[in-house]
Structure formats: structure tokens, C-alpha cells
């Protein structure tokens, strides 16, 4: 996914001491990731760019006060999210965006996955459509966990909910996805009809679950 | 790796939801891989659950929109120049030199003249200016030291004093076109912390928030989106104009004439976003905008067409792209004859 997920502590220290080369390294590491995340919240790349610019300038000006490298990633995502949502709500003025209603466009990618069997392809399609039925917050949690490789504590900080609530949010999201996806990697495809029936059954099940769960959100 | 958990009775679902398991599947490293391989050797009966959980987690791959190397480099370059600007404001060069000079004086004589020295120093040198030049063909976003936002249209230039201090009068000088979103100061818009925009032939006192200024060529135009501003034209010092949202004021230098009217202000700031959302704007209004902005005469073939309204995102980089978008969206035929644009429906 990324060549290096984390900032080298030496680079971090140099940056804090005022080394702009080190700062540039950090910028290059996080710019694509914030950009990608921003694209899930809006199509407006100008606002995404502006937000990234703003939070990095703020980071540089306050770098000496930054506590630990561990907290840096969530700091970036938290301030980026805040800044972007603010700009978006200013643009749309009064209506929408009470932080609960922003869309989050997370999509399963099928192109990169090498699929040996036809059934796997169908499973993936089912997963794809189940994905669309998750709430924006569920999608966002899934994104941070399975794309950004974040700890539950970090995700909780970004979404501004408790760690316990984050676990719940994730578990519920996984349940929805699991219902749409039936795994049988070790079982050879002998009972194609039977598995298809199961898959269909589970699809209906997932819709039923969504119907009840959409009423409450964390 | 600390694994205090007992995985003996884990189902596929349990594995899927387990932190350490997730990490191993998505981001295996030598340590966690060794641990799980060893665990599987001891628990061969769990192979199937583990594989099923693995397959599920592995299929969670998402579409990504990652900028290419050029885009990253361009963004970084922009950011470094913004940082430079921010640093100059945080630690103005002027200040440092003033202190140094002060010490030199103190060493030479006594400390009593410190205030005089600083004052004299400024008089001698004049304030240093920060200048931000717009891009050649794109809109540039500039944050002022007080967090006010300025969008500079292509070719515009903005300057302000390098020793900008929080709480002091905020003044900027503009050439070209810019859109301003002014941050109210913590104490409200008081005289001591007012915001003033200077251009060649006009001064704007900002009493509120967002507005557009187009300066250069034959005329200077100000449209106000929100808040309140006051205009002073240098040629007409006696008559300040107070603008409310939707007000349009244009000063024509040659004839020394002022036109004032009501417009849809978001149309006049349409250039500042890559795609600006417009809500039910009539073709008539757009025609007026084209007249005011690109100095054409616009003739719309009939009244019904003129009343037709457009809603949606509009991308307007320049005159050509505006006309093209417009003719496509409304199915129009637009013809240029001299300085007149004839607009009619393509169906006629």
C-alpha cells in the first residue's frame, strides 16, 4: 500500500527542530493519504487541497508543541477532517452537515483482487453492494481500520466517540458485510447450487438487518 | 507480541473482529507472522476458520484516489511558500533588526532612548511588505495572518505589511481580482482592528465578511456576498458607499462614472471555485455578468429565453469556458459580432 507507513523518529525530531527537508518528507508521506481520505468526503479537490495546506501550515507553526510522534497521525486526520467539514459546511451554508450527515464514499475495489473462481467474483460483488448500505460513520471506521491501519483508540479520537462505541460500530459494520459475503476458500466448489442458495439467503438477511439497524446510530 | 488471548474457541467471526488477527492479515510482519504460524501448528483444527477469516479481511480492499508525484511535488512547493510567509509574520525580520540595533545603541550610550530609536528606525526604513503573487493560470488561496481567506484570481497580486500584528489595523493592497472572506476579529469589527483593502483607485473598509473585488483594465468592480463594506473612491473622496449583500458597484476610471445595482453576488465570485454552485440564476443575470466582466454587449434573442433559469455547478475559468459551458447546458447558440454577443436558442 504505502512504501513506508510511519515516520522515522529521526525525521520527526529533525522536523521538530526546524529541518524543512524532514518536514517535506512528512508532507509527502501524508499528503496522498489525506487527499485520498478527503475524496471520500467530497469531490471538491480544491477544498481538500486548501484544507491540507492549512493544517500543515498550522502544524509547522506549532511543531515544537507537538507531543509525540504516535499522536501525530490522529492529529493530522482530526484537524484535516475538522477543517474540510468546516469549509464544506460554509460552502453549503445553513443546510446539512451537522457532522452526522456527510456522505462517505468508500468503495470496494475489485480490480486489484485476483479472483480464481467465479463464485469469488460474485461474493465480491455482494460485498460491494453491502458496502453501500453501511452508514457513513461505519464506512469511515472501516476505512481507518482496514485501509489506514489505525488503532481503535485513534479511530475513536477522530470520530469523536468512545473506544467502546468504536468497537461496536466496527462490529456492526463487519456483521453487515459478513452477511453479504460467504467464504468457502478451503471447500472446493462442489455444491455450487447449495452455496448459491445460501448466498441468496444471506443477501436477504443482510437487507433485513439493515432495515432494523438504520434506526439507531452511534 | 503480547497475546494474552485464548483463541482456542474462536469462530471465523471472532477472528475477523480480533485486532491482532486483523493486523496479521492486513499488515503481516516477521513477529506476528511467526506467532500465528506457530499457533496454527498447535491448533490445526482452526485452519479452516482462520482461512475463512483471512479471505474475508483480504477482500476488504478499497478504491483509492492517490495524487501522482507531480501533484504531490506541486502541493509541497505551495505549502513551503505558505510556511515561509507564515514564518515571516510570526517573526518579522524588522523586529529582530530593531532589537539588534537597540542593543548597539544601548552599548554606545544609555537605554533611555529606546522608544525613540524604534520609532526612528521605522521611519527610516518603512515597513517591509509581504507580497503574494497569484498563479499564472489558476486560482491561488492565501491565508492572511489573521486567518482571513483570500482567493487570488490568475495574475492578481496581494501585499501586506510584514510586521502584521494581531489586534492591529489590518490592511492589504490588491492588484487584479480577489475574493475575500474576512475573519471578524475577536473583539468584533472595531476601528482599531478594522480591515482595509486598497486598490489603485479605491479603498474598502470591511465591516463584515465576504466580497469580490475586480480591479484593473478600464474599471474596478466590487460585489458584496455577505456582511457590510464601505467604499471610498479616490476620485470621489466625499461620497463613501455602504454596500449590503448583493450590491454591485463599478467605477469606470475613464469617465469617472459609478454604476450601482443589485446582482446575484455568487455569480460574480464564480471564478473562485473550480465548480461554483449556482441556484436558479436567470440567463438575463448571466448576460449582465458577462457584460460587467468581459465588457461585451449581450443581446438575448427573446424574453422567454432570458428568463430561463440555470441551477447547478458551473466551471468558469475564463470567458471561453464560460460561454462553452453555457451554450452546452442551455442548448444555446452564442455568436460574437464585434463587441456584441448574440445569444439564441439552438433550436430556432
Mean of the pLDDT values across residues B133-154? 78
A60:B83 CB<8 A: yes
| Chain B residues within 8 Å of chain A (Cβ atoms) | 12-13, 16-17, 19, 22-23, 26-27, 47-48, 51-57, 59-67, 72, 75-76, 78-80, 82-83, 86-87, 90, 139, 141, 143, 273-275, 277
| CA A102 to each of CA A96, A105, A172, B244: distance values in angstroms, whole numbers, following the listed order | 8, 10, 20, 32
Tell me how far apart the 2 most distant CA atoms of chain B are, in Å. Answer: 93
Residue B155 banded pLDDT, cuts 50, 70, 90 = confident
Q: State the Cα–Cα distance between residues A17 and A30, nearest whole angstrom.
A: 19
Give contacts of A178 with chain B, Cβ < 8 Å. Answer: 13, 16, 56
Q: In the predicted model, what is the mean pLDDT of residues B338-342?
A: 89
Helix (H/G/I), strand (E/B), else coil: B215: coil
In the 3-class helix/strand/coil scheme, how is chain A assigned residue by residue?
Answer: CCCCCCCCHHHHHHHHCCCHHHHHHHHHHHHHHHHHHHHHHCCCHHHHHHHHHHHHHHHHHCHHHCCCHHHHHHHHHHHHHHHHHHHHHHHCCCCCCCCCCCCCCCCECCCCCCCCCHHHHHHHHHHHHHHHCCCHHHHHHHHHHHCCCCCHHHHHHHHCCCHHHHHHHHHHHHHHHHHHCCCCCCCCCCCHHHHHHHHHHHHHHHHHHHHHHCCCCC
Inside any domain, residue B215: yes
Q: Are residues B37 and B97 in the same domain?
A: no
Q: Which chain A residue has its CA at the smallest distance from B84's CA?
A: A57
Provide the grid cell at A197: 442458495
pLDDT of B307 reads: 85
Collapsed DSSP state (helix, strand, coil) of residue B17? helix
pLDDT at A205 (0 to 100): 33
Domain boundaries, chain A: 9-91, 118-213
b/e map B280-312, b = 16+ CB within 10 Å: ebbbbbbbbbbebbeebebebeeeebbeeebee
The CATH T-level fold of domain A118-213 is: Arc Repressor Mutant, subunit A (1.10.10)
Do B266 and B164 share a domain, yes or no? yes
Q: Considering only residues A65 and A101, tell me which one the structure prediction assigns the higher pLDDT.
A: A65
The arithmetic mean of pLDDT across residues A38-44, rounded, is: 89
Whether B32 is covered by a domain: the verdict is yes
Q: What whole-number distance in Å separates Cα of residue A76 and Cα of residue A78?
A: 6
- Same structural domain for residues B144 and B212? yes
Give the 3-state secondary structure of B29-44. CHHHHHHHHHHHHHCH
Handedness of CA B22, B25, B26, B27 (dihedral sign): positive
Whether B172 and B293 map to the same domain: the answer is no
In terms of residue numbers, what domain contains B307? 273-345
Q: Do B50 and B97 have their domain in common?
A: no
- Beta partners for B212? B179, B223
Q: Mean pLDDT across the stretch B202-227?
A: 80
Q: What is the CATH number of the domain that holds B160?
A: 2.60.120.1440
Q: What is the mean pLDDT of residues B273-277?
A: 65
Residues B234 and B148 in one domain: yes
Q: How confident is the model at residue A33, as a pLDDT?
A: 93
H/E element holding B26?
helix B19-26
Indicate whether B133 and B227 sit together in one domain: yes
Asked whether residue A149 carries a pLDDT value surpassing 50, the answer given is: yes
Measured distance CA(B26)–CA(B32) in Å, rounded: 11
Chain A residue numbers touching B72 (CB-CB < 8 A): 28, 31-32
What local confidence, expressed as pLDDT, does residue A13 receive?
A: 85
Half-sphere exposure for B321 (CA within 13 Å, toward CB): 9
Quote the number of domains for chain B.
4
Give how far Cα B77 sits from Cα of A74, B92, B272, Å. 24, 22, 21
Q: Does residue B66 belong to any structural domain of this protein? A: no
pLDDT digits (tens, 9 = 90+) for B56-75: 888 888 888 888 888 898 88
- Give me the mean pLDDT over the B90-104 stretch: 40
| Residue from B29, B76, B79 whose CB has the most chain A CBs within 10 Å, to mutate | B79
Burial of B332 (0-12, 13-18, 19+ CB in 10 A): buried
pLDDT of residue B55: 87
Query: In CATH, what number does A9-91 get?
Result: 1.10.1740.10
More confident residue, B118 or A162: A162
DSSP B183-210: PPPTT-S-GGG-EEEEETTEEEEESSSE
The last residue of a domain, from among B221, B242, B271: B271
pLDDT, mean of residues B207-225: 79
How sure is the predictor about B192, in pLDDT bands with cuts at 50, 70 and 90? low
Cβ neighbours for B280, distance < 8 A, ≥ 6 positions apart:
B309, B310, B311
What angle is formed at CA A88 by the lines to CA A85 and CA A94, rounded to 5 degrees? 105
pLDDT mean over B39-53: 90
- On whether residue B77 sits in a domain, the answer given is no
Residue B83 in domain: no
Amino acid at each position: 500500500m504505502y512504501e513506508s507507513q510511519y515516520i522515522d523518529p529521526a525525521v520527526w525530531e529533525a522536523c521538530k527542530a526546524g529541518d524543512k527537508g524532514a518536514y517535506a518528507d512528512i508532507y509527502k508521506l501524508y499528503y496522498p493519504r489525506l487527499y485520498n481520505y478527503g475524496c471520500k468526503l467530497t469531490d471538491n479537490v480544491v477544498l481538500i487541497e486548501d484544507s491540507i495546506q492549512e493544517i500543515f501550515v498550522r502544524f509547522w507553526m506549532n511543531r515544537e508543541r507537538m507531543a509525540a510522534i504516535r499522536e501525530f497521525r490522529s492529529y493530522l486526520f482530526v484537524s484535516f477532517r475538522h477543517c474540510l467539514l468546516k469549509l464544506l459546511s460554509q460552502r453549503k451554508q445553513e443546510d446539512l452537515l451537522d457532522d452526522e450527515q456527510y456522505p462517505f464514499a468508500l468503495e470496494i475495489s475489485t480490480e486489484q483482487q485476483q479472483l480464481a473462481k467465479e463464485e469469488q467474483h460474485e461474493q465480491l460483488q455482494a460485498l460491494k453492494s453491502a458496502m453501500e448500505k453501511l452508514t457513513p460513520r461505519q464506512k469511515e471506521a472501516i476505512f481507518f481500520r482496514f485501509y489506514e491501519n489505525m488503532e481503535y483508540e485513534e479511530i475513536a479520537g477522530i470520530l469523536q466517540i468512545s473506544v467502546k462505541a468504536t468497537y461496536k460500530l466496527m462490529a456492526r459494520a463487519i456483521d453487515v458485510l459478513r452477511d453479504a459475503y460467504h467464504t468457502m476458500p478451503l471447500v472446493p466448489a462442489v455444491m455450487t447450487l447449495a452455496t448459491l442458495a445460501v448466498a441468496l439467503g444471506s443477501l436477504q438477511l443482510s437487507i433485513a438487518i439493515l432495515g432494523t439497524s438504520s434506526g439507531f446510530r452511534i | 507480541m503480547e497475546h494474552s488471548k485464548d483463541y482456542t474457541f474462536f469462530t471465523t467471526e471472532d477472528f475477523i473482529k480480533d485486532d491482532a488477527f486483523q493486523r496479521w492479515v492486513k499488515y503481516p510482519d516477521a513477529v506476528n507472522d511467526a506467532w500465528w504460524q506457530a499457533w496454527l501448528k498447535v491448533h490445526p483444527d482452526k485452519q479452516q476458520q482462520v482461512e475463512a477469516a483471512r479471505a474475508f479481511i483480504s477482500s476488504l480492499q478499497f478504491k483509492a484516489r492517490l495524487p501522482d508525484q507531480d501533484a504531490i511535488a506541486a502541493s509541497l512547493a505551495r505549502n513551503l511558500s505558505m510556511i515561509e510567509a507564515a514564518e515571516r509574520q510570526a517573526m518579522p525580520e524588522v523586529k529582530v533588526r530593531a532589537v539588534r540595533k537597540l542593543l548597539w545603541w544601548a552599548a554606545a550610550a544609555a537605554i533611555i532612548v529606546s522608544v525613540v530609536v524604534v520609532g526612528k528606525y521605522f521611519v527610516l526604513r518603512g515597513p517591509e511588505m509581504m507580497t503574494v503573487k497569484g498563479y499564472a493560470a489558476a486560482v491561488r488561496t492565501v491565508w492572511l495572518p489573521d486567518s482571513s481567506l483570500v482567493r487570488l484570481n490568475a495574475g492578481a497580486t496581494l501585499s501586506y505589511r510584514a510586521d502584521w500584528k494581531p489586534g492591529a489595523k489590518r490592511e492589504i493592497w490588491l492588484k487584479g481580482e480577489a475574493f475575500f472572506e474576512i475573519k471578524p476579529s475577536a473583539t468584533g469589527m472595531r476601528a482599531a482592528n478594522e480591515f482595509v483593502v486598497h486598490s489603485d483607485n479605491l479603498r474598502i473598509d470591511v465591516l463584515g465578511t465576504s466580497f469580490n473585488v475586480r480591479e484593473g483594465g478600464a474599471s474596478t468592480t466590487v460585489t458584496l456576498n455577505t456582511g457590510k463594506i464601505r467604499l471610498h473612491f479616490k476620485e470621489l473622496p466625499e461620497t463613501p458607499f455602504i454596500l449590503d449583500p448583493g450590491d454591485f458597484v463599478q467605477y469606470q476610471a475613464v469617465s469617472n462614472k459609478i454604476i450601482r445595482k443589485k446582482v446575484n453576488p455568487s455569480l460574480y465570485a464564480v471564478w473562485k471555485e473550480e465548480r461554483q454552485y449556482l441556484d436558479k440564476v436567470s440567463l438575463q443575470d448571466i448576460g449582465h455578468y458577462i457584460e460587467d466582466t468581459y465588457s461585451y454587449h449581450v443581446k438575448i434573442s427573446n424574453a422567454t429565453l432570458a428568463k430561463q433559469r440555470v441551477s447547478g455547478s458551473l466551471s468558469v475559468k475564463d470567458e471561453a469556458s464560460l460561454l462553452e459551458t453555457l451554450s452546452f447546458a442551455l442548448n444555446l447558440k452564442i455568436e460574437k459580432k464585434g463587441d456584441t454577443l448574440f445569444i439564441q436558442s439552438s433550436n430556432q
